[in-house]
Structure formats: structure tokens, C-alpha cells
Amino acid sequence: MFLQSINVLDVDLCVQQPDKFVAHTRASADLREIMPYLNSMFRTSTYNHDAGSIKFTNDKIEYTIIGDKINIAKFINRTELHELLDWLKDLVNDTYDSRSEIIPMYVCRKPVPVLFIYNLLPKTNCQQCGEKSCMVFAAQLNKLEIDIEACPILSEPEYTANRRRLEGAFGAFS
């Protein structure tokens, strides 16, 4: 087993969302070796090979790994934290065991800019997608927390070109 344990060093209130927490932890192994493989698996990861760091989001939880240090942000309580630590440990070990089947990605992806997305949307603020505005939809799409298909207006013939441009922009990240 590559990663034996992840130990919690301390837990603080999350600055971005004061009703949630951030944990500072330490892994039993330096995770730099596995980062290019994790980078291949997460479409929104930010990876810096030279710095030995990766940041990614999974189910709205933010993970930042630098060597053997791991910060986990936006969880609600210690029970969830321990579930997240178990998930992360399993992810790292499964990824390590499957490295021969994963093409490592050593470059950092650049997210599709929110304003680029917004400029291709209908800008009707109709809320058919479930969001309060097209700008909120663009921000959610930027973080891959919603699908392009959630906007039914983009399926209308007059928006075909815009939809194709969006799909092309996100296709580069799949």
C-alpha cells in the first residue's frame, strides 16, 4: 500500500464559508509521484509539477496537496472529514496501483473563463437551468458543477454555434 495513513494536524473554520471547515493534514508518504496521475483524473485540477502541488475539487470539497501536506476544505463536521480522508486514501492507493493504465498529465489545465462562457449563453436569466442567472450558470459550468445540457435554450437552433463553441472549449478538458 502506497499511502498508509493521513493524520489530521488541525481543523479551522473555512474563510470562504464560515459555516464549514478546513483541515490541515499530513500523509504518510510524499504524494508528488502520484500527482500527474491524479491530474489526469480530475478535469478541473490545477497541477504544478515543479512545485509538487495539485488542487482539485470533488463533490464541492476542495483538496490541496503539496508533497505530503494535504488541506481539505468546505466540509461540515469531523465525521465527514474522516469519510473524506478514507476516500482520498483509497483514491491515492487505487491510482497508484493503476498507474500503468493511466496516462500521466504533467501540464496544468487552464479552466474555461467564466466570461467566455457567459458571452456564449442566451443571457435571458430564465432560470430553466435551475440557476438564478446566466452568470451563475457560467460560474457553475466553469467549475464543471453543471452540464451544458442544463440550459435548454442552448439546444434551440439559433444557439447551435454557441453551444458548439462551448462544447469545443470543454472538450479540450475531458
Give the whole-angstrom CA distance, residue 157 versus residue 166: 15
Using pLDDT thresholds of 50, 70 and 90, give the confidence band for residue 171: low
User: Residues of CATH 3.30.310.10 domain(s) within the chain?
Assistant: 6-101
Q: Tens of pLDDT along 76-134?
A: 999 999 999 999 999 999 999 999 999 999 988 777 899 999 999 999 999 999 999 99
Query: Does residue 66 surpass a pLDDT of 80?
Result: yes
Using pLDDT thresholds of 50, 70 and 90, give the confidence band for residue 174: very low
31's CB contacts (< 8 A; 6+ apart) are 3, 65, 67, 68, 70, 92
User: Residues of CATH 1.10.15.40 domain(s) within the chain?
Assistant: 114-171
Q: Tens of pLDDT along 2-38?
A: 999 999 999 999 887 889 999 999 999 999 999 999 9
Query: Does residue 172 surpass a pLDDT of 60?
Result: no
CATH code for the part of the protein at 114-171: 1.10.15.40
- β-strands 69-75, 61-66 pairing: antiparallel
Of the candidate CATH numbers 3.40.50.2000, 3.90.1580.10, 3.30.310.10, 3.40.50.1980, the domain formed by 6-101 belongs to 3.30.310.10
Give the whole-angstrom CA distance, residue 28 versus residue 21: 22
Give the whole-angstrom CA distance, residue 163 versus residue 169: 10
- State residue 64's pLDDT score: 97
Give the whole-angstrom CA distance, residue 58 versus residue 44: 9
pTM: 0.70
